[in-house]
Amino acid sequence: MTHPNQTLYQQKLVTADQAVRLIESGNRIYYGEFVLFPQTLDRALALRMKEANLSDITVESVCLTRVPEAAKQPETAGNLSINDWHFGVTSRNLYNQGACAYKPITYHQGPRIIRKYGEYDAVFLPAGPMGPRGNFNFGVCNSISSAVLDKARAIVIEVNKNIPKCLGGNQESIHISRVTHVVESDDPSLLEVPPAKPTETEITIAGHLMKEIEDGSCIQLGIGGLPNVIGEMIADSDLKDLGLHTEMMVDSCVELYEKGRITGARKVVDKYKMAYTFAMGTRKLYEFLDDNPVCASYPVNYINDPRIIALNPKVVAINNAIEVDLFTQVASESVGPRHISGTGGQLDFIMGAFYSRGGKGFICLSSTYTDKQGNKKSRIVPTLNPGTIVTVPRSMVHYVATEFGIAQLKGKSTRERAEALIGIAHPCFRDELIADAEQMGIWKNSIRKEA
């Protein structure tokens, strides 16, 4: 006898071309998150837009990792708008072409924003094969998808056998009864993001941060060379009973667990669990996550909520920035009006780490960079350039770290903050920054020059 869930599956199973017939001009479609891009449905939508002459189609995602097919075709590109809740390389390139807009978000508020104000005509959501109880698992991405599903007129699941089964947590799957159509893809491999090779500067910064991590710390690591090298250093250390509560699960987390550094034994919430909201890395990471009860996938309104973060003691949050000014405003999203990234979870974790007992939230950046003309420039600047987006306001900043050390800024005056920042700026810019601070009235000429 056929199980009712299998009967529903067969009733709702259609081709991608059939599924996209529900799309009409003016529709808004959600495309999933990060490496889970609905490739089969995307191709079918581009063809549907061309053949039916559809216009005013909007596609939304969280950190697009592929360019929608309709954006590549001259016949359809002008009829497609793309919105992204967080910018990576793909969205940044599209933005520079005038083809993508950013949706500002404090990440942990994303699901609430969607449930209050969002409306979607359709969701094209990649998921793993249906389980015996009729559920499709979202796999490696669970940040805002569950909220979008609540506000969608039609839900189309694109089944991909290569998506690992990532256990909850909660809201990591959807039942067949809620699904409008099921489309079986040709099972494309998940995009792999190899760990970035750290620079010498990042290795130095990581050395400073290692002194701040204790037995029982609960860590948050992100993407990039700095988090990777910190992960390597922790793996090779003798630290014990670390916890993991992180927005993004990366390859270095696997090594930390396999070497026994992460146990979660001293966590207060999600004890013994590696809690996260999305994962992006290599096959090694995806295989580690598959059906692994040690890992817990949650929506971002749980993982990134500062109130939840703070429940665990000794939270160590490590995040990157582009610039910090002498008023201690942190810019991590743009250089002037040139958009680069997004707020992501940086503000969430800086706040959560501060409220955590013994917690520390670090903003990390190299002290200098080299511009296109080959000139060395300071990343600690007098003021941010006009149009630069402030990601972490000065009132929220806790620690700032460069290769020259760490500055703790909480409870300090404007002058004391500027002095601390100048102390970790590159030495060749310190006198200039002192003069800038004097000119701006942060202090008079009495500052110690050796700062």
What is the maximum span of the chain, computed from C-alpha positions, in angstroms?
87
Alpha-carbon distance of 423 to 80, in angstroms, equals: 49
- Are the CB atoms for 249 and 290 separated by under 8 Å? no
Q: How far apart, in Å, are the Cα atoms of 163 and each of 50, 126, 290, 291, 443?
A: 30, 8, 8, 11, 57
Residue 439 CB: number of other CB atoms within 10 A?
9
CA nearest to 312, candidates 272, 257, 342? 272
The pairing of strands 405-408 and 399-402 is antiparallel
Examine the residue annotation and report whether 247 is marked as an active-site residue of this protein.
yes
CB neighbours of 192 closer than 8 A, spacing ≥ 6?
281, 282, 283
Sign of CA dihedral 342, 348, 351, 353: negative
Options 60, 202, 247, 323, the catalytic residue: 247
At 119, list the tokens: 């409306």
Tally of residues, the chain: 451
- Are the CB atoms for 300 and 144 separated by under 8 Å? yes
Active-site positions? 247
